Structure 1
Amino acid sequence: MSVSVRFRVWIEVGDRHVIGPGGYEILKAIDEVGSISGAARKLGMSYRFVWNYVDRMEKTLGVKLVDARKGGRGRGGAKLTPEGQALLKYYEEILEEMNQVASKWSQELTQRFRNLTSYDL
């Protein structure tokens, strides 16, 4: 028997959602691809959805996360601002730490459940 501990991480400011798994994937895709439209295509999302998601994160935090350049095909693009890169890094650090905790507890509970099932109840 193998037990898995799973979790979802999101960051809030007050009671307002800033970033969770979806926002993380959006920022990461923008960072990798270099455009909002390219990130949207990569993630199978609409450009409008990605743009609005980023806009909501920026308004909630009060900082610019993505520097988008207008220009159309071949001339536009987007990159994360230093604040956007920092948010991505913070989220990744939280995920890494939470993955370590989840792994520890998965192993611990697997052993504990094995011990429970070895008894005749």
Structure 2
Amino acid sequence: MNVTYKGYMCDVSFAQYGNGNNAIQLIGSEGTDYEGELVGVASVNGELKLEDDVVGIKTWSENEGIDQSLIDGGVIEPELLGLEPTGFVAIEHYKLTAASLEEIEKLKEVKS
């Protein structure tokens, strides 16, 4: 999966946090000047254990606008499911798209 974030063409890399919550990083796409480099960490792991099809997105500070990039790239659904307060900010929870869930399942099969 690919997204464009702040003018950077990125590959979406899925993983999981230690508690099983979904994690998303944006990595510079092949053929770009920043190929393979970490462009941004889209997700954040809060205190809550989320459903398998939900991800917490960091939308503050340097990540402003990342939610829209993920929506436009077909990674997350556009509907905000809820907020998880954490300090002075709140983690935004979104449902992953069917395409994202397929990518996550492929990774699980490879690890098995």
TM-score for both structures, normalised by structure 2: 0.37
Structure number with higher relative contact order (C-alpha < 8 Å, ≥ 6 residues apart): 1
TM-score for both structures, normalised by structure 1: 0.35
> Which structure has the highest helix share of the two?
1
> Which structure has the highest strand share of the two?
2
